[in-house]
Amino acid sequence: MRIGTAKETYFADEALFDTRTQRVWLFVLAALLAVFPFVASQYWLYLACLVAINVIAATGLNILTGYTGLVSLGQAAFMGVGAYTVAVLERRWGTPFLLNLLAGGAVAMVVGMVFGVPSLRVKGLYLAIATIAASFILHFIFANWTAVSGGTAGLTVPPANLLGLALDSEFRSYWLIVPIAALMVLGAANLFRTRIGRAFIAIRDRDISAEVLGIPLLRYKLLSFGIASFYAGVAGGLWAYFFRSVTPESFPLIMSIFFLACIIVGGMGTTLGSILGAAFMTLVPEGLKLAFGWLPNAEAMAVHLAPVRTMVFGALIVGFLIFEPHGLAEMWRRTRRFFHLWPFRT
Amino acid sequence: MIDWLLFLEVSLAGLGGGGLYALAGLAFVLIYKATRVVNLAIGEMLMIGAYFFFAAATDLGWPIGLAIVAALVASGLTGGLIERLLIRPMLGESPISVFMITVGLSSILVGLVELVWGADQLRLPEFMPTSPVLIGEAMVAPKIFYGFLVAAALIASVLILFRYWRGGVALRATASDRAAAYAMGIDVPRVFSLTWVLAAAVAAVAGIVVGSISSLSPTMGIFGLSVLVVVIVGGLDSVLGALVGGLLVGLVEAWTGTYLGGEYKMLATFTLLVLVLMIRPYGLFGTHEIERL
Amino acid sequence: MRVVKWLVGTVTAAGLALAAPAQAQEEIVLGGSIPMTGVFAFAGVGIHAGIQDYVKIVNDAGGIKGRKIRYVFEDTAYKPDVSVAAFKKLTGSHKVSLYYGDSTAFSKTINPELERMGTILMAGASFATEINDPQKYPMQFMAGPDYSEQIGILLRYVANEKPGARVAIVYSDSEFGRDPVEEFREQSKKLGLTVATEIMTPPGSVDVSTEVIKLRRANPDYTIFHGYVLAPIPQFVQQLKAAGSKSKFMGSFWTMDHSTVMKMGEAGDGFMGVMPYRYYYDDSAKAPMLEKIRRMRPEYQSTPYLQGFLTAMLLTEAAKRTLEAGKPLTGKNLKAALNSIRDFDTGGIIGVPITIKGNSIPVGRIYRADMKAQKMVPVSDWIRLD
């Protein structure tokens, strides 16, 4: 139990950030994020943008998998849908980027729900396998609908344009990507204070009881699929603006697995988990590279970096599932709890 | 005007390729039947078996027969190890968690293979006859033909084992009711280990055949994705289903590849998957236990 | 707000203080996203050694106008996103003027960034036809013929050997594989060859026996493989030979390294392919640069090694010409200097003097595998597409 958090109204109890300390820290975090681009090198800005994009996609997947209990291996493919939508809109009509991103999300949402319909006839692991099918079928469309998608060569994307300013460098992209990511994460956190979000959780915990409680399963599962795909679509759109080139091979199945790994490592069913997981999994390869650089015979060992990276990726999934199933978010919470009563109890 | 000889040859090649799918599907079904684990790492288990064979036959220079036996034993041990280290701790957890364990496992295996043997494509030593086989007027590629024979023989022997061998009976008992099997004195954890060992060995056979048909590389695991389709079509827990599903997928791939073009192969396979999931989610021969919405 | 300003100010000052000595330095930096690991490692390791060796040769000879070349690289595992990260890291911490990129996807992704920065001339492992367009890729080039030109050289050879021959192409369903197919059709028509069939194989496909059946029926005199490294070429060749096909088989650059072709075994005997560089052991003519390489490294060096070596040579040549003209090292100047190369002697790595008009060097030669001698032997003269 925490000290000094007596709540007098339900409203206070439902608040997203319930203590003052929390709000202060949040403000500090926001300030840090705002200062970061002025102090960080291009490389770190690049990584920050990448982390932010991955956070969006992972948050979406967490809504579907962590909160609603439906496993999907199609998140990257839906990201591809968003990326292609944005690329086509930006190239053909040059519409404003916010509109493009929304459209990217919306199209991904529709496509996600279309693939959701057949796969939602089945549950659990069958669904996971069905989403693999979605990912292959979408790849086929990307590669062969040449008139729109540019075939295997893909599309190059002009930079997003903010009041005549081309958002083409990391520094400028940062101001596009990170605020949107923050907004989307906030949206996800708020979702679970609404009827819809609570319905998702009810479905995850026991779908039959949820139905008895008056939650139409099919509709809510589809909705969850749609929201997850919307997040993927927006992430894909940002991806397109950031990398400025979209090809069918940009969104492979392993990327979907990566997002799944993000939420496993981060913690399923928590918003914090999506953030921590996506950041951690994006930075692990860079950390490994750094660590390999410190080895005494770095030059010779460099050859082993890629396989070690692959193994560490797998080992993280397995290790977290076996030893820390609630992920980094739980570790974070444990640490926080420790400090709540510190130094009165250790 | 249909060229019937072409159709026949293509169909035979499809059946041959389907035999390999069936073999890999068999390894999958064994595991699912006994332990209810959906093993996404099946393709990687094939791969590791083929690499063990490569190590024995090329790195160590052992004769082919001995190398195959060594590969089977090594793969079996690996399978047992996987079960003890990764699957056993997850006993009683949700099937989704165990599924994700196998997702992680596939990465670990790929990394391991790349670490030891590198990422380059390798060629297995030639050990199958190279002259084409004639069935009537149709010509069949030798490796496909013999691969098919191996697959058929192995599937038949597994079916017989299931029927008559004590371990096979124990496995079936475990599959149909875990608690009852415990009550009847069957050592269920041992059955689990045994299945993983057996399945890994079967996967190794499939891997050796697949590897000798094309080549070895750490990306060989892609083969496993088509195997997922095979077992869904056949029914996750049916050995016969794996056989029929494998042949069916092989035929569909061969026909679409020939008459539509190579890019349609994967599309056809996965469209088949979606269709089966919609019409008959438990597969052609699977148990009707799947819950629907 | 004041805090932010103060922070910004301090940091900028610190950054300038750090950057100042960097500007005074004389080194010319050659950066590289090199696939030392992953599926392309067989090439990456060679490319790396090639670049390293050439840089060493230049530096031992005193550098370019007294300025040494510094080669910095990062491993990419042949993943475009890692490759981009490597680019950002290297360009963030060094003043990079020359760059080696590892894949088509990377070349395309980084292109807008190159144009924005305008300080780098880039070449790389991609021979994609699309990149051979000075309008769209003004700061890139490739040290050889693009994939379409490679196929063109092969067809030119076929038309010479057997006019009106039936040719077939087998390619993978990827950007790499599909790249030259259109050119294949057009050139065949132009050269009076008959297209027997075009076969696309899905990526990572294991069993290609149905494709073999199709190819056998098309009965080509020559079959060109493109978009693969090794598999499934041996399977095709072996099965077709066993079935009594008389076709000859050909490949494009990334298939043609000595070690790759030799892995095909017996069936690979007579396998032909286009190669813009002389093989390491090819001593059919005088090649001072190759001799230098042989002295530096007495064991066989792969064709990707030569590709990296030559790329480094051309990149530094562009830098040298820019500096000699007294111009700053910008992407535009470097590219202009590169395009000023006329009848340039590569020291025998390419058997004829080269001229770089656009983004590629459309020169190549047909080599054939001789399995008895375990060597690739030239069967044509240097073919130039001009």
Per-residue pLDDT tens digits of chain B, which is 293 residues long: 578 888 998 999 899 889 989 999 999 999 998 888 889 999 999 999 999 999 999 889 899 999 999 999 999 999 999 999 999 998 888 888 899 999 999 999 999 999 999 888 888 888 877 777 888 778 888 888 888 888 889 888 888 988 898 888 888 888 888 889 889 888 888 999 999 999 999 999 999 988 888 888 888 888 888 898 999 899 888 888 999 999 999 999 999 988 888 888 889 999 998 888 888 878 888 777 655 44
Chain B nearest-CA residue for A134: B270
* Structure ipTM: 0.89
Give the minimum alpha-carbon distance from A124 to chain B in angstroms, rounded to a whole number: 7
Task: Tell me the Ramachandran region of residue A251: left when phi exceeds 0, alpha when psi lies from -120 to 50, beta otherwise.
Answer: beta
Identify the residue among C175, C181, C182 best suited for mutation to test binding to A, counting A beta carbons within 10 A and taking the highest: C175
Give the minimum alpha-carbon distance from B227 to chain A in angstroms, rounded to a whole number: 11
From the list A72, A78, A102, A89, the residue with the least C-alpha distance to A183 is A102
Cβ C113 vs Cβ C346: under 8 Å: no
Q: What is the model's pTM?
A: 0.89
| pLDDT one-digit tens code per residue, B166-189 | 888 888 888 888 889 889 888 888
Cα distances (angstroms) measured from residue A218 to each of A10, A71, A117, A223: 31, 15, 9, 8
CB of C45 within 8 Å of any CB in chain A? yes
Distance of CA C218 to the CA centre of its chain: 32
| pLDDT one-digit tens code per residue, B108-130 | 999 999 999 988 888 888 887 77
Cβ B214–C235 below 8 Å, yes or no? yes
CB of C83 within 8 Å of any CB in chain A? no
Cα distances (angstroms) measured from residue A137 to each of A103, A116, C365: 21, 13, 41
Q: Identify each DSSP E strand in chain A by its residue range.
A: 155-156, 160-162, 165-167, 245-246
Cβ B217–C242 below 8 Å, yes or no? no
* Burial (Cβ within 10 Å: 0-12, 13-18, ≥19) of residue A288: middle
From the list A262, A302, A298, A259, the residue with the least C-alpha distance to C77 is A302
Instruction: Determine the Cα–Cα distance for residues B256 and B259; give it in Å rounded to an integer.
Output: 5
Instruction: Determine the Cα–Cα distance for residues C304 and B9; give it in Å rounded to an integer.
Output: 40
Cβ C251 vs Cβ C226: under 8 Å: yes
Cβ B274–A133 below 8 Å, yes or no? yes
Per-residue buried b or exposed e for C2-33, using 16+ beta carbons within 10 Å of the residue's own CB: eeeeeeeeeeeeeeeeeeeeeeeeebbbbbbb
Cβ B45 vs Cβ B75: under 8 Å: yes
Q: Can you read off the two tokens belonging to residue B72? A: 């089977």
CB of B260 within 8 Å of any CB in chain C? no
Q: Which residues of B touch A125 (CB under 8 A)?
A: 38, 95-96, 99
Instruction: Give, for all 386 residues of chain C, the pLDDT tens digit.
Output: 444 444 444 444 444 444 444 444 579 999 999 998 878 888 998 999 999 999 999 999 988 988 999 999 988 888 888 898 899 889 988 999 999 999 998 999 899 889 989 999 999 999 999 999 999 999 999 999 999 999 999 999 999 999 999 999 999 988 899 999 999 999 999 999 999 999 999 877 778 888 998 999 899 999 999 999 888 898 899 889 888 889 999 999 999 999 999 988 888 899 999 999 999 998 888 889 999 999 999 999 999 999 999 999 999 999 999 999 999 999 999 999 999 999 999 999 999 999 998 899 999 999 999 999 999 999 999 999 87
Give the minimum alpha-carbon distance from C116 to chain A in angstroms, rounded to a whole number: 8
From the list B166, B177, B155, B172, the residue with the least C-alpha distance to B241 is B155
Cβ C109–A245 below 8 Å, yes or no? yes
Q: Which residues of C touch A159 (CB under 8 A)?
A: 112
CA torsion A211-A216-A222-A228 (nearest 10°) is -70
Instruction: Determine the Cα–Cα distance for residues B86 and B104; give it in Å rounded to an integer.
Output: 10
Omega prior to B95 cis, within 30 of 0: no
Cα distances (angstroms) measured from residue A331 to each of A1, A318, A328, B188, C359: 17, 17, 5, 35, 54
Instruction: Determine the Cα–Cα distance for residues C70 and A269; give it in Å rounded to an integer.
Output: 49
Instruction: Give, for all 346 residues of chain A, the pLDDT tens digit.
Output: 566 667 777 777 777 776 777 888 889 999 999 999 999 888 899 999 999 999 999 999 999 999 998 888 999 999 999 999 999 999 998 889 999 999 999 999 999 998 887 666 676 677 788 888 889 999 999 999 988 888 888 898 888 888 777 887 888 889 999 999 999 999 999 999 899 999 999 998 888 888 899 899 888 999 999 999 999 999 999 999 998 889 888 899 999 999 999 999 999 999 999 999 999 999 998 898 888 888 887 777 777 888 898 999 999 999 999 999 999 999 998 888 888 777 776 5
Distance of CA C368 to the CA centre of its chain: 20
Instruction: Determine the Cα–Cα distance for residues A205 and C148; give it in Å rounded to an integer.
Output: 57
The structure tokens 């609404």 sit at A194
Which 8-state DSSP code applies to residue C253?
G
Instruction: Determine the Cα–Cα distance for residues A143 and C177; give it in Å rounded to an integer.
Output: 12
Q: Which of A253, A307, A321 sits opposite B101 (nearest CB)?
A: A321
Q: Angle C370-C372-C376 (CA atoms, 0-180°, nearest 5)?
A: 25
CB of C230 within 8 Å of any CB in chain B? yes
Task: Tell me the Ramachandran region of residue B118: left when phi exceeds 0, alpha when psi lies from -120 to 50, beta otherwise.
Answer: left
Report the interhelical angle of A195-205 vs A217-243 (nearest 10°).
110
Cβ B281–A307 below 8 Å, yes or no? no
CB of C84 within 8 Å of any CB in chain A? yes
